[in-house]
Amino acid sequence: MRAPLQTNTLRSTRFWAAAAAALCLLAACSKNKNPEQPAKLAPIHSSLRVQELWKASVADRGAKRLRLGLGMAVDGSRVYASSHKGEVAAFDLATGHRIWRTYTRLPLGGGPAVRGNLLVAGATDGHVVALDAATGKTLWTVLINGSVISPPAISANVVAVRALDGRLRALSPTDGHELWEASQEVPALSLRGTSTPVIAGDLIICGFSNGRVLAVNAADGSQVWLSVVSQPHGRTQIQRLSDVAGPVDVAGSDVYAVGYHGTVTMLGLKNGQTWWSHKASSYRGLTFGDSGAVYMATADGRVEKLDRSNGSVIWSQPALRYRGLTTVAVSDDAVVTADFQGYVHFLDKRTGAFIARVRAGKVRISNPPIAVGNEVLVINDEGHIVAYRMSPPG
């Protein structure tokens, strides 16, 4: 399953139809003359017990086909979630009991993100809203004139928001007024998704649809470095898609990023220098694990474990190809990803073999699972949340 496409105007339904038709044509004209079909799931031997703990919901049937960045955020003993219809809610992590619920009346598209007592979400109509994380009370709402479909990032001094118009904006955590903005050119055709900003010390780092990763000074938005992760190539606009659509990840003095039709790359945090780079394609982000490993779901649906020091592939699991995988999560016991049919897959961290599988429902799961110790939470595209606990069988 390929990622949805978007234009920088977001207004041409004819263009969307043409892009979709072109994408289907591209798949149909592959070497084997057959469209790429999702892999059928084979039976597995479960060596991990996965027990459902609770269910909750920010029911959102209207967003089923929108593939928005409406995931979850966990802070302490609470889970936060939001829906495209404007609902934001807090739940108890242990029980799933709803603590509060607020209706923002905004078409939410990205978030929530939480830090301390501040919770922030963005909307597809360009609004950004901040709530009190303890009570759900609205603190401020601002309009940035750029559709937001990925979670913001929050520090003590700035709320960083990346919009579809190619702009990275810094807002004041106090009242939401704009502090500065930085931008990159948006290609005529790109994946429908934007990279989540990452705050690392005094830097804000973000991927863009032109295949570049930008690092700016958090205080004033001035450029610190700009690195190419995915270089456009090919004769058609679809072949030239090169988005860095997933969030970058930072570990110590290193930045890890992956692009669509590009590379998986390790960069230096201070100057953006490339330390290693290998050909790869993903519209999801990377996830750190233990023992110097990094995990990713590729664009064609392979789950891979890489050596962080040099990018070499430790193992690759191809049995989920073209199933529209989420970004992976890494728990104490497993590597976890979910797919377009609502299945949640658990893989052995050492070998990549399947150790469990459950189905959270029949609706696609687009946003990444969240692992907290030996528990994992998933939210599907209709806003239904399921929490699981993992343990040895028996």
pLDDT digits (tens, 9 = 90+) for 320-355: 999 999 999 999 889 999 999 999 999 999 999 999
Q: 61 — phi, psi (to 5°)?
A: -60, -30
CATH of residue 323? 2.130.10.10
Q: How many residues does this entry show for the chain?
A: 394
pLDDT of residue 187: 56
Has residue 205 got a pLDDT over 50? yes
The chain-wide mean pLDDT, for the chain, equals 86
Has residue 67 got a pLDDT over 70? no
- When divided into structural domains, the chain yields a total of 1
pLDDT digits (tens, 9 = 90+) for 70-112: 999 999 999 999 999 999 999 999 999 999 999 999 999 999 9
pLDDT of residue 361: 95
Name the residue range of residue 288's domain.
5-391
* Nearest by Cα to 231 from 280, 169, 286: 280
Q: How confident is the model at residue 305 (pLDDT cuts 50, 70, 90)?
A: very high
> CA neighbours within 13 Å on the CB side: how many for 289?
24
Query: Reading across the β-sheet that carries 329-330, which strands appear in turn?
Result: 329-330, 335-338, 343-347, 354-359
Has residue 12 got a pLDDT over 80? no
pLDDT digits (tens, 9 = 90+) for 250-293: 999 999 988 776 788 899 999 999 999 988 888 788 999 877 89
Whether the model pTM is above 0.75:
yes
Cβ-proximal residues to 45 (8 Å cutoff; 6+ apart), any chain:
none
Q: How much of the chain, in percent, has pLDDT values that exceed 70? A: 82
Has residue 193 got a pLDDT over 70? no
DSSP 40: P
